Structure 1
Amino acid sequence: MSVLQSSLLYYFIIIFTTTLVLISEKIRRTEVTHLHRLIFWSALILPVLISGLRYGIGTDYFSYGNTYFMLNNYDIIDGILNTRYEPGWIVLNHVVKFIFDDVRFLFIISALLTWFFFFKAIYTHRDKINVTVAILILLCTLYNLSFNNVRQPLAISILMLSIKPLLDRKMIKFLLITIFATCFHYTALIFLPSYWIVNSKFKQINFVKKTIVIISSLIFIIMFKPFMDFLTNNIDMFSSYSTYELDFKGIGFGNLIIKSPIIIIILLNITKMRTSNNIMYRVFFLYFMGLIFDYLGYYAAFVGRISLYFEATQIFILPAIIKIQNNKYARLLYIFIVALYFIGLFTYDIIILNHNQTIPYIWNFN
């Protein structure tokens, strides 16, 4: 495909998928049959097909292909013990080998799992958020990224399933889901303290915990290089990261400026979210943790990706803010602002700068 055709394809995916979800939501409000579910889940098809049937796009595409052949030279146990890859990813590679014996299906299955988990997480909270806006934000921020860094978006999608048990205070279920996500990307383990951070019975304790988290996060950023040196030199699962060069480039405010519209919307609605009894307000702090961890990107771009686990909560927070607006015009205004912002961000990041190198799009099956 040409650059123009590829750009139009990605816009079409966003618009078509979001429109299907919008239709599903309209039907859900007016009837009791299961037609809305059918339409909602059918919206999953196009993003999965385009993602799964790609070839050679995304900076890590060929790396994952080579890893597939390498991992299948081991049995599962040896792969876990003797390679740097996570158990879940090793098992998935072996399953694809056993059933299909074709590396192309690794990308199809991983895309299917990633977007199924994301859609499932959003659908679970359909009564607390504007589902259509959630899907729009999801596609604008994480769709093209998933072409590149396959394992981490899969881990993020699984972690988004943990938001419900986190809010419902079901600790065991939260832990199991988080551990499952870690089986696809070890860095997902950083999300584990979220349960402790979010759940407090007393305001005073909640304030103390969040203060501790902020201070600890800042110390973690400052001491990140010696911390990583310790991990890579002493823990085998992190040893492969020793090849990455960490070079702190100084503090900047570019990311905060870019994300300032979202920050302002959240700050303007914190009190309203609390008084409206929409429990999504409890994950606000996780988003702001993501902003803090974003500064790890000043060491190296790959390190800054840790923030994605927390910033992904915006797919719940902003749609929840829209959901609680009682005034129709205020609700429409927020929808317009959020949609314009994320489509603009997508245009700049993916279409113009071609981050993740997903343009031009290339089909895998000719």
Structure 2
Amino acid sequence: MIYFYIFIVILILAILELSTKLNMKKLFNVIFILLTLMSSLRYGVGSDFFNYMYIYSGIPKLNNPYFKTVVAHTEYGYNVIQGFFKMFNLDYSVFVFVITAITMLLFYLYIKKNSRHYMVSLLIFYSMYYFTYINSGIRQGLAIGLFLVVLLPMLQKKEYLKYVLFTLLFSLIHSSIVIVLVLPLIYFNVNKENFIMMILCASIISFANIGFLLKPFGRIYTSYQYYLGAQINIFPIISRVVIFSIIVILYKSVSNKIKIEDKNIMKYYIVGIIIYITFCRSELLSSRLNVYFKCFEIILIPNLIQIIHHKQKKLLISYVICIIMMTMWTKEINAALEQGEYYNKGNVLNYPYVSVFNKNDISLYRPIYYKIDELDNMN
């Protein structure tokens, strides 16, 4: 129940932060370090843990002449990183520790630099991104962190050439990050008329199926075609609509007090919504592309709440956000249990934590389709 206890602690501290003037910096640091250690030392936690372990076991050392001919369902840059670790005979657990620690550091730096309510940002991060992009989809989690900490400042400084070059470099880790190349092209004011027009255009494009435009992007096009027509899960759509509506309400309430940086972030966030609608015929792809912009919720929500001076309105919205995060956290845990084929599906309170120090216990909670000892030896 450790994940549940951590959630309750973060939730209580977030409520206190919103309703009082308590400084949460030190507690934020302590909890973030705890979450980083838990993720870095995990074993078998995360639906893709063993899939990535299998890929790692099959990657030759970087200086091996066979490295260039290896075929893996991962981008070349990510394979180079794996091959580099293999050069030093480091096993998969060490690789996971380093990659996870770097990704968590990137999110920490982003929150620390930009958030005005650290604990609220942590609540949002832990409820919607931690389990999916830290414990499971480690390639995209790293790509998202690099976008927020490395690419976004370049964009804000209008260093467009560097922005494009580094985006292409990071696409060698996860190709979906190329979607952020649209941001330097965005020039519009955040108003009702422009938003409605873009929604209509995105809906028409989605209905017309413009998948052929993705052909130059290789893996993204393949993913679009593969998942096209798959059954659409209504929950992600509803959750996006609800959270977007709340952010719009917050933005409208304090629009005359918002700094230019937050106005630009709001603009980028809206772009993400448009992208999601444009590619919604392929649910998984639209979510993967949208997440780079959706992550702005980690900063937008607490920063907009902080500007509100009407106490009752601020408390009402704050409690609504907390309720939504409770729902999202439950959804994330349920998804982890389902995708990992855990034996105790549906029991979110007992989502187990297993570390490298008791790794054999993972077989008590979920089926293992690879022989762990053989994979360890291959590493």
- Tell me the TM-score range normalised by the shorter chain: 0.7 to 0.9
The answer to whether the Cα contact below 8 Å between 2:176 and 2:220 also exists between their aligned partners in 1 is: no
Partner residue of 1:158 out of 143, 146, 152: 146
* Number of residue equivalences: 344
Structure 2 equivalent of residue 59 of structure 1: 47
Percent identity (aligned): 21
* Aligned-pair Cα RMSD in Å: 4.1
Amino acid at match of 1:46: L
In structure 1, how many angstroms separate the alpha carbons of the residues matched to 2:57 and 2:336? 32
1:195 matched residue in structure 2: 184
Q: Is the Cα contact below 8 Å between 1:54 and 1:362 reproduced in 2?
A: yes
Counterpart amino acid of 1:151?
R
Mean Cα deviation higher: 93-102 or 108-117: 93-102
1:182 offset after TM fit, Å? 2.1
* In 1, Cα distance between equivalents of 2:56 and 2:77: 13
Once the two structures are superposed, the pairs formed by residues 259-274 of structure 1 within 5 Å of their partners are 259-274=240-255
Partner residue of 1:5? none
SS across alignment from 1:336: helix
Q: Secondary structure at the match of 2:229?
A: coil
Q: 1:271 to 1:48 in 2, by over 3 A?
A: same
Give the drift of 1:53.
Answer: 2.2
**Which stretch has the larger CA shift, 183-192 or 271-280?**
271-280
Note the C-alpha offset of 1:323. Answer: 1.6
Change in Cα spacing, 1:42 to 1:72, as seen in structure 2 (3 Å) is farther
Deviation at 1:117, TM superposition (A): 0.5
Note closer, same or farther for the CA distance 1:352–1:118 as it changes in structure 2 (3 Å cut).
Answer: closer
**1:178/1:273 CA distance change after superposition, 3 Å:** farther
Partner of 2:355: 363
TM-superposed deviation, 1:175: 3.8
List alignment gaps of at least 5 residues for structure 2: 343-350, 359-379
Q: Which amino acid aligns with 1:307?
A: N
How much does 1:60 deviate? Answer: 1.8
More displaced stretch, 319-328 vs 210-219: 210-219
**Counterpart position of 1:326:** 309
Q: TM-score, normalization: structure 2?
A: 0.74
Q: Which of 1 and 2 has higher RCO (CA within 8 Å, sep 6+)?
A: 2
Tell me the residue number matched to 1:148. 136
Q: 8 Å contact 2:14–2:123 — kept in the other structure?
A: no
**What amino acid is the match of 1:125?**
N
Q: What is the match of residue 209 of structure 2?
A: 223
Q: Which amino acid aligns with 1:291?
A: I
Counterpart Cα distance in 1 of 2:160 and 2:256: 25
Note closer, same or farther for the CA distance 1:350–1:274 as it changes in structure 2 (3 Å cut).
same
Structure 1 length normalisation: TM-score?
0.76
Whether 1:131 aligns to 2:112 is no
Q: 1:265 to 1:189 in 2, by over 3 A?
A: same
2:328 to 341, 345, 352: 345
Distance 1:100 1:276, change over 3 A: farther
How far residue 178 of structure 1 moved from its aligned partner, in angstroms, is 3.1
Q: How does 1:216-295 map to 2 (within 5 A)?
A: 219=205, 222-227=208-213, 230-231=215-216, 238=219, 241=222, 245-249=226-230, 254-278=235-259, 279-295=261-277
Query: Counterparts of 1:243 and 1:262 in 2: how far apart (Å)?
Result: 25
Q: CA deviation at 1:115?
A: 0.9
CA distance in structure 1 between the partners assigned to 2:60 and 2:94 by the alignment: 14
Change in CA separation of 1:173 and 1:16 when aligned onto 2, cut-off 3 Å: farther
